[in-house]
Amino acid sequence: MQPYDPNAPPATVIVGAQQPMMQQPMMQQPMMQQPMMQQPMMQQPMMQQPMMVGGAVIAGQQKDFMVALLLSIFVGSLGVDRFYLGYTGLGILKLLTLGGCGLWWLIDLILLVTGSMTDVNGMPLKK
């Protein structure tokens, strides 16, 4: 018996012989060509990375730098900036410690201004 080949054309079984014989069909169907994968070009805008939410894949949105900066300045000690970036656990910790008594708030502010902070998907903030 031959191994299964998904690319082989369908075969017809002739019944009545001691062992079933395989006969190739007269006309072969043309093979479907798959489109070639295009490599991303440098001029294209940055594509959104998919993320898993409840078992479904959705595209993440790039977070805005100015929104994150303003949230960090005015309500950063309450962790709102971390919630905005998707870091829910860190937002709760920052809320409970009031921004690490101001130290965590200052470090997050410096990280934002220097451009070192990303969202939960690792995407840089949109400026």
Q: Which two tokens stand for residue 68?
A: 């994150």
Q: Longest Cα pair distance anywhere in the chain, in angstroms?
A: 87
Q: Which two tokens stand for residue 54?
A: 């409840």
Cα separation, 113 vs 110, whole angstroms = 5
Tens of pLDDT, residues 48-87: 555 555 443 445 688 999 999 999 999 999 999 999 999 9
pLDDT of residue 97: 92
| Average pLDDT over every residue of 84-101 | 92
Cα separation, 27 vs 74, whole angstroms = 73
pTM value is: 0.53
| Average pLDDT over every residue of 82-109 | 92
Cα separation, 63 vs 71, whole angstroms = 12
